[in-house]
Amino acid sequence: MATATVATASPASAGSKPWYKILYVQVLIAIVLGALVGAFWPSLATNEWIKALGDGFIKLIKMVIAPIIFCTVVSGIAHIQDAKKVGRIGVKALVYFEVVSTFALVIGLLVGNIVKPGAGFGNAAANAQAVANYAKQAEAQKSVDFVLHIIPDTVVGAFAQGEILQVLLFSVLFGFAIMGLGERGHTIRSFIDDAAHAVFGVISIVMRAAPIGAFGAMAFTIGKFGTGAILNLMGLIATFYLTAALFVFVVLGIIARIAGFSIFKFLAYIKDELLIVLGTSSSESALPSLMEKLERLGCSKSVVGLVVPTGYSFNLDGTNIYMTLATLFIAQALGFDLTFSQQITILIVAMLTSKGASGITGAGFITLAATLAVVDPRLVPGMAIVLGIDKFMSECRALTNLCGNGVACVIVAWWEGELDRDKLNANLARQIDPTDMETAVTTD
């Protein structure tokens, strides 16, 4: 029988480190410094080398996402004796995703109707050309294309292009193949377990560059768009952030309480990942570290390997909130009074388009275009209203998506009976620095 990946902190644990050596403190300082540089020295902040700091860190993380998913999923499935268990975990995860995603969509609609952030905005002059590219990409994302896209042209291509769903599909098939080998598959199982250990070691090294990446990304963002871009539409940004907070602390908080843990302690546990996402505006930048921490938290390897990568495509709570809220904002700003049936259409269409555009650059904006086109094509040009501030809203989308996927993994593990309650309680009570992670994979 196999045991899940166990991570132990090195002697220099986060609690014994000087404050300036703790990763989340470094990232927080870097974000503040980046914002100051962007605000006061925009010409310096928009230098291509400053931008390269943030882009480079994200590329370093993306470099190891495919190997992490492959090793985790294959090892998790290969050690399972009952093949039905994999399907059971997948079904439970999808059921959870759809239920919680619906809550996210409904909350976005309710807040949009109550607060009416677009009311009084006036008929903004929308530049259709500025959003034409997004609309074209959204139009191309048909359900059939999405399903076919999951199947890679070649296995090597899936890894080379970093297509999460394609790598996940091959990993599941490969894991089942090794499971079918029985004892003959022991050698390759051990090799993949050791490979996972090595790749997590790479993550530990890469995470040390997180403050540099966060500084570069934040400085470039503020330097390029300016603080004025935020002030112009502060109402929408504030409404979106407050709605996302309401979802995380109330909806996810209640779900976490039902499962027997505190959402506040959980957020404190993944604070390093949250700050990295805040600095880079990319939830993928924290995916490998999040998966490692969830295993440390007591979730079984098989659950983590299946739920987290799948959640990055099917459990986009932040994107769902953004779509419903932004759709209402644009309609209100352009003077359209959406009927009840049109708002129900928003729920249905947004639920589908959020899956169809997963994995695409600017996915939140693209799904918004697809949703607007179905609800009322006249709303599509209004996307230009929010185009300038989408970069700032993408940070909140990424943060909410990360929180939602982390909680989803713990819930599915608990539902499946694969959650070590002692580990959960013990790890939520202490601080962990990702750069101190030492992962040991053992089997017996």
CA 211 to CA 280: how far, in whole Å? 10
* Domain residue extents for the chain: 6-440
pLDDT in the model for residue 266: 93
145-159 mean pLDDT = 80
CA 307 to CA 315: how far, in whole Å? 10
The 10s digit of each residue's pLDDT in 120-138 is: 654 444 444 444 555 555 5
What is the percentage of the chain residues whose pLDDT exceeds 90? 10
For residues 89 and 416, is the Cβ–Cβ distance under 8 A?
A: yes
83-109 mean pLDDT = 85
Residue 254 has pLDDT above 90, yes or no: yes
Q: What angle do CA 207, 212, 214 make, to 5 degrees?
A: 85
The highest-confidence range among 91-95, 214-218, 435-439, by mean pLDDT, is 91-95
The 10s digit of each residue's pLDDT in 357-403 is: 444 445 566 667 667 766 777 777 666 667 656 666 777 888 898 99
The 10s digit of each residue's pLDDT in 202-246 is: 877 887 888 888 888 778 877 876 665 455 557 788 889 999 999
Amino acid in the structure at residue 384: A
The highest-confidence range among 85-94, 250-259, 309-318, by mean pLDDT, is 250-259
Residue 82 has pLDDT above 80, yes or no: no
pLDDT in the model for residue 391: 66
DSSP, residue by residue, 358-423: TTSTTHHHHHHHHHHHHH-GGGGGGHHHHHTTHHHHHHHHHHHHHHHHHHHHHHHHHHHT-B-HHH
Lowest-confidence region among 4-13, 16-25, 105-114, 273-282: 4-13
**What average pLDDT does the chain have?**
76
The 10s digit of each residue's pLDDT in 290-343 is: 888 898 888 988 888 888 887 877 788 888 898 888 888 888 877 778 788 788
Lowest-confidence region among 115-124, 134-143, 217-226, 272-281: 134-143
Burial of 151 (0-12, 13-18, 19+ CB in 10 A): exposed
How far are the Cα atoms of 126, 241, 353, 377 from residue 399, in angstroms, in the given order? Answer: 29, 10, 20, 30
How far are the Cα atoms of 46, 209, 210, 361, 388 from residue 53, in angstroms, in the given order? Answer: 11, 9, 10, 19, 22
Q: Quick one: DSSP state of residue 16?
A: G
DSSP, residue by residue, 221-234: HHHHHHHHHHHHTH
pTM for the model stands at 0.67
- Select from 247, 242, 278 the least CA-distant residue to 117: 242
pLDDT in the model for residue 442: 38
Q: Which ranges of 143-182 would DSSP assign to H, the alpha helix?
A: 143-150, 155-161, 164-181
* Token reading at 369: 């275009």
How far are the Cα atoms of 56, 243, 293 from residue 427, in angstroms, in the given order? Answer: 31, 29, 9
Superfamily the domain 6-440 falls into = Sodium:dicarboxylate symporter (1.10.3860.10)
59 CA to centre of own chain:
16
